[in-house]
């Protein structure tokens, strides 16, 4: 039940926030908003009517919508299409921007509720092994955890680096935890020591032994939340370059549809219930908010970004694209998006996305 209700609420909240952005911007721009609906038609009940706007609850309990007068009909008094290019662009951009604002708020809540932070570290974890290095010759592997050096406990990566540097040219016996077992290897740190590789030719970090929650005050949390939105955007935009440089496993950048989002959100909700930490679900909502905002800004037909693109074309041409032609392009785009979503949903079903895990911030 938890893994169904929570994802449904999260996705609905993100979509309601998106439509609320359009709604507020339209009202500020004096655009006649005919309906703001929770869920999708058919209509169940009209809750209220304020001015020209009906507020409704609809039968499909998912998301929301805003219906503006004259969305694709220039000449309708008080209609969307009758407004200036700047006004239309602002109204269209307000939905995605509201998602980014919501993401910053939820990231801030995550920082206030306790952000998992490394509290204790121990030993040295091998991140990479350089080719033609003493470590490679000795059979050391990425992922090995170095427990002891010549019988001395390794208490940090720094102490390990200092010790092997001092032992350059001399044999060192390392006790390594590999998987569930232990092995001993003999290695001779090299002389001279190549730059950026170290005496053994390994990249190391420290093994996390305890994670604690760090609580941020509200103002600091808001700053950190905004910074988290910026870093998430930067990482997302850099994904194509990372994939081209083969610096990222393609499976980690796979597109995810509603089924995949349900799987991830359900996993995060389960972790929150099991640990008592609000961080998993709050941070995930922030990530999804950034993803939804950025996706809607893509210059694709049927998305806000696609409609913004037509406004840009209008500004360059000096005249509006025929609304019927624009509407046809958006209709074709919507059909294509539905087909792509069906393919992604099929992938999410046959190959479920990995379960959400509390990330190590270091």
Show which residues are catalytic: 19
* DSSP annotation string for 209-246: EEEEEE---HHHHHHHHHHHHHHHHHHHHHHHHHHHTT
CA distances from 154 to 124, 182, 302, 341 (A): 7, 15, 58, 50
Cα-based torsion angle of the residue sequence 144, 147, 152, 157 in order, rounded to the nearest 10 degrees: 70
The backbone region for 76, taken as left when phi is positive above 0, alpha when psi lies in -120 to 50, beta otherwise, is beta
SS3 at position 194: coil
Cβ distance 290 to 100 under 8 Å?
A: yes
Nearest Cα to 15, choosing from 38, 34, 33? 38
Distance CA 341, CA 62 (A): 17
309: Cβ–Cβ under 8 A, 6 or more apart, which residues? 299
E strand residue ranges, the chain: 33-50, 53-68, 115-129, 145-149, 152-153, 172-178, 181-187, 202-214
């Amino acid at each position: 039940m938890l893994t169904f209700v929570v994802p449904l609420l999260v996705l609905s909240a993100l979509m309601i926030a998106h439509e609320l952005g359009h709604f507020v911007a339209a009202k500020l721009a004096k655009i006649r908003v005919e309906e703001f609906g929770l869920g999708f038609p058919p209509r169940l009940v009209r809750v209220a009517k304020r001015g020209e706007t009906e507020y409704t609850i609809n039968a499909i309990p998912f998301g929301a919508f805003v219906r503006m007068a004259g969305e694709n009909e220039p000449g309708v008094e008080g209609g969307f299409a009758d407004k200036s290019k700047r006004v239309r662009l602002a109204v269209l951009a307000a939905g995605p921007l509201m998602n980014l604002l919501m993401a910053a708020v939820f990231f801030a809540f995550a920082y206030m509720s306790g952000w998992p932070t490394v509290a204790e570290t121990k030993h040295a974890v091998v991140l990479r092994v350089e080719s033609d290095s003493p470590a490679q010759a000795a059979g050391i592997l990425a992922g090995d955890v170095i427990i002891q050096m010549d019988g001395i406990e390794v208490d940090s990566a720094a102490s390990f680096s200092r010790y092997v540097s001092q032992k350059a040219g001399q044999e060192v016996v390392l006790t390594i935890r590999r998987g569930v077992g232990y092995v001993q290897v003999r290695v001779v740190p090299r002389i001279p020591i190549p730059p950026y590789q170290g005496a053994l030719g390994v990249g190391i970090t420290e093994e996390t032994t305890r994670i604690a929650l760090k609580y941020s005050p509200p103002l600091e949390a808001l700053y950190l939340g905004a910074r988290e939105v910026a870093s998430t955007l930067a990482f997302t935009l850099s994904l194509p370059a990372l994939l081209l440089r083969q610096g990222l496993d393609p499976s980690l950048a796979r597109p995810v549809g509603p089924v995949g989002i349900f799987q991830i959100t359900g996993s995060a909700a389960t972790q929150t219930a099991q640990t008592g930490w609000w961080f998993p679900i709050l941070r995930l909502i922030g990530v999804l908010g950034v993803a939804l905002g950025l996706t809607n800004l893509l210059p694709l037909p049927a998305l806000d970004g696609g409609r913004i693109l037509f406004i840009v074309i209008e500004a360059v041409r000096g005249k509006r694209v025929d609304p019927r032609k624009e509407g046809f392009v958006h209709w074709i785009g919507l059909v294509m998006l539905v087909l792509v979503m069906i393919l992604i949903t099929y992938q999410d079903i046959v190959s479920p996305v990995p379960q959400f895990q509390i990330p190590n911030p270091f």
